[in-house]
Amino acid sequence: MTVKPEIEGTYLFGLADSRRGYLLNKMCASLITPENRASFLHDEAAYCDRFALSPEQRAAIVARDWVAMLDLGGSIFYVFKLAQVDKKSMQYLGGIFTGMTTEEFTETLRAGGRSFG
């Protein structure tokens, strides 16, 4: 039985998501080495081709559509590796995922987080 999150805008990452996003996550995880980051930055499309990504996954990566990456099975832990290649912070991604600017998201964290009541 799959339990859906009760908080709008949250992501529940389950087994089906893991399977759907396996190649996307594998590609992002590969960016851990300096050589792979350099290869990716040299020719992103060719680098993506190494991983047999779906056309939608490939397009999301090239466009840096962070929300689409999660919708396509990306795990934030792996997608963040791609964000780091772009020198983006977790607060930047948090802002994207919540519809806030990086500054607004950071300030919300400092104030104790969002209220869902």
HEC assignment per residue over 43-110: CHHHHHHCCCCCHHHHHHHHHCCHHHHHHCCCCHHHHHHHHHHCCCCHHHHHHHHHCCCHHHHHHHHH
pTM of the entire structure?
0.81
Q: By the 8 A CB rule, do 75 and 13 touch?
A: yes
The domain defined by 15-86 carries CATH number 3.30.420.40: no
Closest CA to 9 of 107, 105, 111: 105
CA distance 112 to 9: 18
pLDDT in tens, the chain (117 residues): 454 556 566 666 666 767 878 999 999 999 999 999 999 999 999 999 999 999 999 999 999 999 999 999 999 999 999 999 999 999 999 999 888 999 999 998 898 877 665
